Amino acid sequence: MEETGEMMHWIFKREGMESADFPVCCSYGPVSWEDPFKWQGVILGPSGSPYEDGVFFLSIDLPKEYPSKPPHIKFLTKIFHPNIDEDGTIYIDILEEEQWKPIQTIETVLLSICSLLVDPEPVGYYNTSCFLYLNYWDEYTHQAREWTRKYAMEALQDLDQDSAEI
């Protein structure tokens, strides 16, 4: 497959951009074909979780040493979750350099993050959501649903209204 007359970069091939057969729960792709190291992702909130019906956007930056080193993935959409800081930093072992395995792809990492939304793995009290998740489940669930409604659903409703007005 060619893009703008040149051969496709090996990263695009490795990540399956030729077939683009995405899982139901997430999607991803390069921000532009000129930069194979800058990607974006979208995760749909898993049903049965406090994130259900939410649409969450992520930035995905691949280091020059990829796939020997893990990608840097952050949530751009605010989310209340024990493994995700308010700045979008994700705390999951497979993104740590010593746990990273080059066989993993952007898709496998996004699938792991989807799984993490259903089944958090808090390792301490590094944010309020960890504390609530471990000690006050109902409050954690309420807060996570509220943030999902406010940040991952209302923005989409605003977009729908804007496009309906055009």
DSSP code of 84? B
User: How much is the pTM?
Assistant: 0.87
| Per-residue model confidence (pLDDT) at position 160 | 56
| Alpha carbon separation from 15 to 8, 98, 108, 116 (Å, rounded) | 11, 22, 10, 21
Q: What is the pLDDT of residue 3?
A: 45
Could you say which of 25, 26, 114, 130 is catalytic? 114
Give the domain range for residue 70: 2-165
pLDDT at 5: 43
25 in active site: no
Tell the burial category of 16 from Cβ atoms under 10 Å away from its Cβ (0-12, 13-18, 19+): middle
CATH of the domain at 117: 3.10.110.10
Burial string for 32-47 (b: 16+ CB within 10 Å, else e) reads eeeebeebebbbbbbe
- Give every residue of the chain whose pLDDT is below 70, as ranges: 1-7, 20, 155-166
Q: And the tokens for 153?
A: 């659903």
**How many domains does the chain fold into?**
1
Phi/psi-derived region of residue 78, left when phi > 0, alpha when psi is between -120 and 50, beta in every other case: beta
pLDDT of residue 116: 96
In this predicted model, what pLDDT tens digit does every residue of 121-150 receive, in sequence order?
987 777 899 999 999 999 999 999 999 999
